[in-house]
Structure 1
Amino acid sequence: MQNQFLDPAIKWEENGESLKIYTPKEFSFRQNLKYLSRSPNECLFEATEDKIIRALSLHNETVLIEITAENDTMLVVRFLADTASREKEAVVKYVYEWFDLGTDIRPFYDLAKRDPILHNFVHHFFGLRIMGIPDLFEALAWGIMGQQINLAFAYTLKRRLVEKFGTFVEHDGRKYWLFPKPEAIAHLQIKDLTELKMTGRKSEYLLNAAKLLLHDELSKEQLLQTNNVKEVEKILTKIRGIGPWTANYVLMRCLRFPNAFPIDDVGLHNSLKLALERDEKPVKEEILSFSEGWAEWKSYATFYLWRLLY
């Protein structure tokens, strides 16, 4: 089935009360589910051994979906909690983007086979995709909250923010939360966020990002139209509180630039130390040298290196 709002490459069909989304051969639901299950404190979806449940806000609808897979490849989307959707195309588009199914990663695998670092482990995670954050505000907020703290506390901050200012769908006695929209945050005071144990500076940065999006001074469409990783990085780093690390994180997870590279990421440094079987982390000059061989696939190289840590 096709629709004028969807990329013609997206193949899907309705099957009774569910949707089936065809995936590339280079995709494994199991591998991506492992990534999504890495934190027990995730608040925006439930990931179990064989399925994902999450709420989505699409245009004028809020839906609750369950995602499973047939033969570890074809995705099956089922609507829960009496939230059958009129926006089926929007659901397909969201899932397709979330799992980065539109990217042909065969060239990355070819590159990895020849790379002195990547060739040792990439094949163990065949089918892993860069699980995205399609919403720009959520991606910016996650980047801001994660600055200079460990991952566990970043998840705690996100949960506090979501459960204080987000909305939810209830199903079988459980709440499935939606990330707050910019309008829910932009009019808050700094103290509303510091009460969540967010620092004053991060609170300022988050409020500012929400206001930029609310007033259309920043948008995902605007950034994508720029179509140049360095130019978009410049736009983002001009925003108060958005440094190169946060900008490249957003470029990877939301805007899908394959050559984005968060070179200062601590997780990247730790994973390279592990991959190289060293006692010390590599220095920045070494990392730059390693990344020269990754060409336009620095984002995927980074994501697969991160995979070594969990």
Structure 2
Amino acid sequence: MYMKTNPLAQEPSIIAGGCWEDNGQEIKLGVPKEYSFAENLRYLSKSPNECLFQIKDQKIYRALAIEDETPILEISMEHERVLTIRFLAGTAPTRQSVRLEVARYVSEWFDLETDLLPFYALAQSDVLLQRAVESFYGLRMIGIPDFFEAICWGIIGQQINLPFAYTLKRRLVESYGRRVHGDGTDYWLFPTPQAIAALSVHDLAGLQMTTRKSEYLIGVAQLIVAGRLSKELLSGAEEKQAEKMLTSIRGIGPWTANYVLMRCLHVPSAFPIDDVGLHNAIKYVLGTDQKPTKEEIRQFALPWKNWESYATFYLWRFLY
């Protein structure tokens, strides 16, 4: 199994990489030395059409639904190696268990548990990664902790450009998600599997979602609602088994499966080798107009063993 042990589960009060300090109205979350809030903020700012969080004055704002509470977070980095998570007025969770889940979510979102030093060491002599690491040092694999959201985003993004994918996501969220109002601003929560499972293809047609994508989204939602698919189920499987479980689902091919394994389960060796963005990034770094063959990509990736997902993510960053 490849699921990481989360140090937050032990509820420490010392500030260190991945540890937290709970002050009720705010949480202090330790980050590793190889973490750049500015670099991650630049990544998160890449789409002006993002609907699930907002960035203002170098701070990130988003709502989370945890148990029966809906805290609205303000995330900033006021001191070196410490993220500050404040709760907007009136939304601070009343239970420490919920605040712990908030800390876990943010830790997973920014992949704070991964030690990037081995990746940076191998990149120093790598023809493709050396420039990427120099350009984006401190960037983390920005995760999608919500399993249903991650699968939906993978399906929505199939065979369309990124701006239109964000437009479709916004339409889906604002039609079937939940709006939370706080501090004079509206925040959106991604639709639940239960909400999408109850829809018909006709319901999604108005969003300009294709018939097939609509069928895929509804089908995945129904599997999750029925208990036949879950993040926990995949986390308990070997990587190839998890990929096979995903690709057995209608609408999920190898690209979508590896995308979910990368962004949601943080599987280090997940590798969407057929990704057009990866091919274009390699062309960009090498300064060539010729698309790399799959065998050439495999040769490039030989030194990346167990870092394929990070290598892909860093190369994508040249384009997105």
Q: Quickly name the TM-score band, shorter chain normalised.
A: over 0.9
Matched, 1:301 2:311: yes
The share of aligned pairs that are identical, in percent, is 58
SS of residue in 2 equivalent to 1:66 = strand
Q: How far is the alpha carbon of 1:103 from its aligned partner?
A: 0.9
Segments of 4+ moved more than 6 angstroms: none
Matched, 1:31 2:39: yes
Cα pair distance change 1:72/1:192, threshold 3 Å: farther
Q: How far is the alpha carbon of 1:6 from its aligned partner?
A: 4.4
Aligned ranges for residues 43-58 of structure 1 at < 5 Å? 43-58=51-66
Aligned twin of 1:110:
121
Q: How far is the alpha carbon of 1:18 from its aligned partner?
A: 1.4
Question: What letter is aligned with 1:103?
Answer: T
TM-score, normalising length: structure 2: 0.92
- Note the aligned Cα RMSD (angstroms): 1.7
SS of residue in 1 equivalent to 2:124 = helix
Contact 1:33–1:49 (8 Å) recurs in 2 = no
Aligned ranges for residues 233-248 of structure 1 at < 5 Å? 233-248=243-258
Contact 2:31–2:82 (8 Å) recurs in 1 = yes
Aligned twin of 2:299:
289
Aligned twin of 2:175:
164
TM-score, normalising length: structure 1: 0.95
Aligned twin of 1:218:
229
Q: How far is the alpha carbon of 1:289 from its aligned partner?
A: 1.3
SS of residue in 2 equivalent to 1:114 = coil
Matched, 1:14 2:25: no
Cα pair distance change 1:162/1:81, threshold 3 Å: farther
Aligned twin of 2:276:
266
Cα pair distance change 1:7/1:84, threshold 3 Å: closer
Aligned twin of 2:75:
67
Residues 181-218 of structure 1: per-residue CA shift (max 9 Å, x gap):
10011010111111110000000000000001011101
Aligned twin of 1:80:
88
Aligned twin of 1:199:
210
Task: Specify which structure has the bigger relative contact order, considering alpha-carbon pairs within 8 angstroms and separated by 6 or more residues.
Answer: 2
| CA distance in structure 1 between the aligned counterparts of 2:79 and 2:92, rounded to whole angstroms | 25
Q: Which runs of 5+ in 2 are unaligned?
A: 1-5
Matched, 1:147 2:158: yes
Aligned twin of 1:131:
142
Question: What letter is aligned with 1:36?
Answer: L
Contact 1:167–1:178 (8 Å) recurs in 2 = yes
Range moving further from structure 2, 45-54 or 156-165: 45-54
Range moving further from structure 2, 9-18 or 81-90: 9-18
Q: Which runs of 5+ in 1 are unaligned?
A: none
Cα pair distance change 1:3/1:254, threshold 3 Å: closer
Matched, 1:175 2:183: no
